[in-house]
Amino acid sequence: MVKQLPALVGLAVLLVLPQVLGSEWSWLVLLLNRALIFAIMAIGLNLLTGFAGQISIGHAAFMAVGAFTSYGLTKFAGIPFWGALPAAGLVAGVVGYALGFPALRLSGHYLAIATLGFGVAVPQLLNIWESLTGGWTGVKPAAPYLFGLSFREDRPYYYLILIVLWLLAGMAVNVVKSRTGRAFVAVRDSEVAAQAMGISLTKYKTQAFALSAFYAGIGGSLYAHLINYISPHDFGLGISMELFTIICLGGLASVNGSIVGAVFMSFLPKLTERVSIALQRSGAFEQSHFLQNVFKNFNQVLTGIILILVVLYLPMGLVDLWRKAKTLVAARGVK
């Protein structure tokens, strides 16, 4: 029970948060929605990169596949959102499975380059397919209706995302503790030994790609119907890099770390922006034109500094803070 306490407290906070925030905090709920969608996708990427050791820095491409699949199915095939959401995951999963085969021949930096190429190519290809994606103009996926309920507002949508996150995080935890998850880690740590234990590299690398892409596809669908406006170029390298940063910062090979990292990365720019504005208002730099210019973009500088500090002092990710805190408390308890 004590062991599960932090998880329960976390869940309770997540459940009541949108309710206690007043209407002036609407932007925060939207930001939270985006953060939790990124958490879903980060969990998927972490299964691939953190556990199975296969780098992908073009993961936004799978998100795009999910987003446009979901849009196409709801718009043209008359399939309701609750059908389009898993379908988006499955279609992205199939694409991920297919990408897994060429990826088998590559590892490390070379795999990074190949997935980067994939991440660049997919938005371009989608851009050409204007009848589905709208090209540069983009398209407008409708807000979902589920069982007669509208999810046009951010608050109900928040609970929808939360349920999906809870399900997919639970599935990821199960995988990690199972035969499949252990095989992923074995492939990551020693390919020769993994093979000698009966683990087919082909099978588990392609499975990791497919599973990871499934999570990204689900995230893409949720994102499309939340933002209600998407174009192929929204899913570029910026998002791929953000996902990669999230898992490194939150904690590689950690499901919790993926969630923590996603929330951290979504709120950090907002936080540094506030700090930056406050500094400018205080008039602290009125004397110096130079300093004024420097602090005009101080939010980005500060974000960068914080990222560097985290990787320097928490190389195991933000989740390591929790472990460190626990050992500290335990040490105090002994005294």
Partner 1 sequence: MAILELQGITVKFGGLVAVNRLDLSVADGTIHGLIGPNGAGKSTVFNVLSRYYDPVEGTATFAGKDLLRAQPHEIIDRGIARTFQNVELFKGLSVWDNLMVGQHHNFRYGLFPSLLGALLPNVRTQEKAARERALEVLQFLGVAQYKDAFPQFLPYGIQKRVEFARALVSGPKLILLDEPAAGMNQGETHELGELIRTMRDRYKTTVLLVEHDMPLVMSVCEYITVMEFGRKIADGSPAQVQNNPAVIKAYLGEEEEAAHA
By CB under 8 A, name the binding residues for partner 1: 171, 173-175, 177-183, 185-186, 188-190, 192-201, 207, 211, 253
Q: For partner 1, give the closer residue by CB, 122 or 247.
A: 247
Closest to 219 (Cα-Cα) out of 56, 54, 75, 88? 88
Structure tokens of 199?
């683990």
Q: For partner 1, give the closer residue by CB, 185 or 279.
A: 185
Tracing tokens 């995951």 back to the chain, one arrives at 89
Tracing tokens 């379908």 back to the chain, one arrives at 87
Question: Which amino acid appears at position 223 of this protein?
Answer: Y
102 alpha carbon, distance to own chain's centre? 24
Supply the minimum distance, in Å, between the C-beta of residue 89 and partner 1: 12
Q: For partner 1, give the closer residue by CB, 78 or 198.
A: 198
Q: For partner 1, give the closer residue by CB, 200 or 288.
A: 200
Q: For partner 1, give the closer residue by CB, 87 or 172.
A: 172
Q: For partner 1, give the closer residue by CB, 32 or 176.
A: 176
Q: For partner 1, give the closer residue by CB, 122 or 183.
A: 183
Phi-psi region of 145 (alpha: psi -120 to 50; beta: other; left: phi over 0): beta
Q: For partner 1, give the closer residue by CB, 190 or 297.
A: 190
